[in-house]
Structure 1
Amino acid sequence: MENFNATQKDAQTPKQIFILSGQSNMAGRGGVNKHKHWDGVVPPPCRPDPSILRLNAHLHWDPAREPLHSDIDAKKTCGVGPGMSFANAVRERVGIVGLVPCAVGGTAIKEWARGAHLYENMVKRANAAVKGGDGGEIKALLWYQGESDTSSQHDAESYKAHMEKLIHDVRADLHSPSLPIIQVAIASGDVKYMEKVREAQQGIDIPNVVCVDAKGLELKEDHLHLTTEAQVELGHLLADAYLKHFAPQQHPPTSVSSS
């Protein structure tokens, strides 16, 4: 059995920090049944590793393990989300991964406006993650939210403006004007306005903002939340997007010919 005790070396190693934010499909409902119990199944791509840490609700680093959001989205039952499969997919390229869970189920984009509790808590947690002198750096914000904004025409039509403002505000408040944002185009919600929100998400044209599409990933019987398998796949899509667009590119070693 692996030893996941935090060591002094781990605490001092520079972390490549990723913020996980949005609503329930980022918090993770994979493996949560209709009786609101998590089945406890952790797929191999989501297994813990000593190089993956998470910032807990008390702003301390712990070894990361599913469910990542259990003490953040604490009023709901959390299961498997995309965070661990993402972290396992990027850790060999980035080293120590620090995950900062911030997602809360059932929340609309207006609840993430600057000044609102959810937004301010996200910024507080992100700032806490880089404190301590260990050289940690926030590498990206992973964002999956929008299902709650498909219930009315007004919310759907105003989504793009709200999301663009959130991007500008969080970059300003984290003093990172080019902070990479990887957002997920939703795969569920009220069908009447779901496509309107998806169009908004895919239509954001801001530098260093990319979108991955969750449409086509398997949904649970509630037709709202991704299955465990779909969450694993989404984590890999997010990792692919990060490695392709934002991670330092690996170059093959230059061969030196002898004369």
Structure 2
Amino acid sequence: MAGRGGVNKHKQQWNGVVPLECSFDTSKIFRLSSHLQWEVAREPIHHDIGTNKTSGVGLAMSFANAVKERVGVIGLVPCAVGGSAIKDWARGTELYESMVQRAKAAAAHGGGGEIKAVLWYQGESETRSQERVDCYKENVETLIHNVREDLDLPSLPIVMVAIASGDEKNVEKIREIQKGINLPNVVCVDSKGLQLAEDNLHLTTEAQVHLGRIVAEAYLTHFLN
């Protein structure tokens, strides 16, 4: 979710290429910075979040550009940390509590805005062992319940992405779990088949752009119609 499109795996540098679909919009698309301040959203969206890895193009900006005509002004709240496991997002962990804090701050300082959805793209780390596979479904469902409870939004829409890569032994097991989550207002889209970067793990810039449009279509279809 943090986005590694355009990042050279050897030099760990982003190439700076921003596709048209990810263009900034000074009047409609904003992001919450690491200091909880609103600013115009520009790639890379996660540049000051989870700085353990270099951020590149993700799906957020193409998503925002695809939905802005329907929803108006958009505030993106980046929270993702590359390579994190689902256990790192359990209630009480640093990542989880930061996410909830940032979501609440976004709503409080949003000039009348509301939290409208969570976009969740995670799971490659879970393919590393059968032990992680075995507890993944319970952990994901617990995460969804916890976020909704802690934000006092029991019907908060969740758009999940079924992963495209990971350890070959377990990737299909995780994908099936993701596609099989059966909770109200949870929709899963599939990233399988989208082009992978040279590391054979992360999506290319073009694939991230396409995925953003897929997520946007799912959001507009299931939650705005």
TM-score tier (shorter): over 0.9
The reply on whether 1:48 has 2:15 as its aligned counterpart is no
1:243 aligns with: 220
Per-residue deviation, 1:147:
0.3
Per-residue deviation, 1:74:
1.3
CA distance in 1, matches of 2:51, 2:89: 18
1:85 aligns with: 62
> Residue 140 of structure 2 aligns to a residue in which SS?
helix
Query: What is the root-mean-square deviation of aligned Cα atoms in Å?
Result: 0.8
CA distance in 2, matches of 1:94, 1:58: 26
Per-residue deviation, 1:75:
2.1
Correspondent of 1:212 among 189, 208, 211: 189
- Report matched runs for 1:75-224 at 5 Å: 75-132=52-109, 134-224=111-201
CA distance in 2, matches of 1:46, 1:161: 34
> Residue 212 of structure 2 aligns to a residue in which SS?
helix
1:36 aligns with: 12
- Report matched runs for 1:8-47 at 5 Å: 26-34=1-9, 35-47=11-23
CA distance in 1, matches of 2:52, 2:132: 24
Runs of 4+ in 1 over 4 A off after TM superposition: none
Per-residue deviation, 1:157:
1.5
Q: What per-residue deviation string (whole Å, max 9, x for no partner) do you get for residues 107-156 of structure 1?
A: 00011000111000000000000003721101100000000010000101
CA distance in 2, matches of 1:96, 1:133: 10
1:226 aligns with: 203
CA distance in 2, matches of 1:199, 1:161: 14
Correspondent of 1:57 among 34, 56, 68: 34
Q: What per-residue deviation string (whole Å, max 9, x for no partner) do you get for residues 34-90 of structure 1?
A: 211110000000010021000000000000000000000212111000000000000
Match for 2:135: what amino acid?
Answer: S
Cα separation, partners in 2 of 1:236 and 1:58, compared to 1, 3 Å: same
**Greater Rg over alpha carbons, structure:** 1
Cα separation, partners in 2 of 1:125 and 1:133, compared to 1, 3 Å: closer
CA distance in 2, matches of 1:158, 1:200: 10
> Residue 77 of structure 2 aligns to a residue in which SS?
strand
> Residue 80 of structure 1 aligns to a residue in which SS?
coil
CA distance in 2, matches of 1:143, 1:36: 24
Unaligned runs of 5+ in 1: 1-25, 250-259
What TM-score, normalized to structure 1?
0.85
> Residue 130 of structure 1 aligns to a residue in which SS?
helix
Match for 1:30: what amino acid?
Answer: G
Check whether the contact 1:157–1:197 (CA below 8 A) recurs between aligned residues. no
Match for 2:24: what amino acid?
Answer: P
Match for 2:149: what amino acid?
Answer: A
Match for 2:23: what amino acid?
Answer: R
Unaligned runs of 5+ in 2: none
Match for 2:12: what amino acid?
Answer: K
